A and B are shown apart, each in its own frame.
Chain A
């Protein structure tokens, strides 16, 4: 029988426990600190630089003055085109993996292995792949076939294609998760009523995972919007007087613009406020996209 509740745990062990908690809490706090510090630094140094004119004007004087409008527009075009190219393929792959593939088949395992490998490939490698495959192989062949000369060079199209490949794993994983969340019973109920597999997918499975597909797209856009290394060689340009008129033209990009401002400018110190302001816009954009994805996801969970 317990007569009193005096601790039988030794002082040493209690101290150890105390320090472990302290250490873990400090580590967790420092993560928050780093994020806050990051945002704080940029906002403090460049917060006043983000103005309406900054967002809507073209750069002036070799990127040392003016705004970031073409970079903002270029980034937007890029991720839109990337979404159009990548999300359908990613969604189709996820549908194949969850709905059609025999789970332990050689092919399904190869696809999964490929998706995981793709997720771990450094982004600069995607850039080189874009040059080798999209520009030199596909572009040159298209030009040869059509008698044009616009496809065999870096462009918005090939950059978007490269980014679509890069973000494919993000889309596949997100969509697959949402497809798997659709109860098996719901599929069986549909099939038992005489629906084909495809009818079951379009009428029951997909409507139940629209939010997942949306989340996947937004996460992909968030990842793609901030990506610079992958598009370095496939169509981004450091300065442009006009917005791209066709997908085969070159474009400006926020992340690359930042790189240009901080390394390629005639007067790097002078562009520092511009750099900070551009960073805020880029961070804000990715943060906003991720936040949207999180909100959609939490709504999905509540249902």
Chain B
């Protein structure tokens, strides 16, 4: 399993609790670098919780608790030494709802960059263009960079959010059901984008859409009731899964 690739993210006996309720049970897996890894499974199976544990977004929820290890580049992100803000700068995230800041397109993309450094206008302009090109949005918005991002269509907004995440030059991109609110055409564009971005970034994608996992991912993990049932090459998961639960889910017999 993924032995030939360097590992970027590694979970080892990772457990997650919301108060008294345990949401993840002994998750152990290795996510390879510069590949697309998809997590599938029915609602509430823990796939989003796992994704949000990688950049510690769950820290924001009162009463959560983790044990076990979540390693990024060999460092446990829950280690006391780790600064969560620095961690999040290295990990971009795209959410289910495309939610641009109520600022201009330009300001949306430069938001992460200008938080801590003064960057010259020309450098910013360059980053904006590169990020927008990477997210296949440049041609559509290059003439209205200083207009409000809220004027964009849903699909454009989601690509803007990807551009915004890409702009901080992360190594990892976490995507939490990025297409669930998009129409098929926009979904197609985002999927194309994911395929292009995987040369540069380690992408972890949570999706409800099994076809999507099949189309864009190299590796797939199947979650069920807080446990990782199976993790393997996407091709293997979809053609000859080892576990009966995986096969039942893939073939639509439940979930």
Q: Is B truly associated with A?
A: yes
In the complex, A187→B60 CA distance in Å?
A: 10
Chain A 176-215 interface 0/1 with B at a Cβ cutoff of 8 Å (1 = within) = 0000000101111111111110010001100110000000
Assess the A191–B99 pair: CB atoms within 8 A.
Answer: no
Which residue on A lies nearest to B90, using beta carbons? A194
Q: Which residues does A use to contact B, with CB under 8 Å?
A: 102-104, 183, 185-196, 199, 203-204, 207-208
Given the known inter-chain contacts A189-B95, A189-B161, A192-B88, please indicate yes or no for A203 contacting B57, CB distance below 8 A. Answer: no
Closest to A195 in B: B115
The answer to whether A188 and B95 have CB atoms under 8 Å apart is yes
Q: List 29 A-B contacts (CB under 8 A).
A: A104-B62, A185-B99, A186-B99, A187-B60, A188-B57, A188-B60, A188-B95, A189-B93, A189-B95, A189-B99, A189-B101, A190-B101, A190-B111, A192-B57, A192-B88, A192-B91, A192-B92, A193-B89, A193-B112, A194-B115, A194-B168, A195-B85, A195-B111, A195-B115, A196-B85, A196-B115, A203-B115, A207-B102, A208-B102
CA distance A183 to B97 in the complex (A): 11
* Interfacial chain A residues near B55, Cβ < 8 Å: 192
Interface of A, helix, strand, loop or mixed by DSSP = helix
Q: Across the interface, do A193 and B57 meet the contact criterion of CB distance under 8 Å?
A: no
Q: Chain B's nearest CB lies how many Å from the CB of A144?
A: 45
Q: Is the CB of A185 within 8 A of B88?
A: no
**Which single member of B57, B112, B165 contacts A195 (CB below 8 Å)?**
B112
Given known pairs A186-B101, A188-B60, the reply for A193 and B95 (CB within 8 Å) is: no
Q: Known contacts being A193-B165, A194-B86, A194-B88, is A199 close to B115, with CB within 8 Å?
A: yes
Contacts of B57 in A (CB 8 A): 188, 191-192
B118-155: which residues lie under 8 A (CB-CB) from chain A? Answer: none
Distance of A204 Cα from B101 Cα, bound (Å): 7
Q: Give the distance in Å from the alpha carbon of A204 to the alpha carbon of B111 in the complex.
A: 10
CA distance A185 to B98 in the complex (A): 9
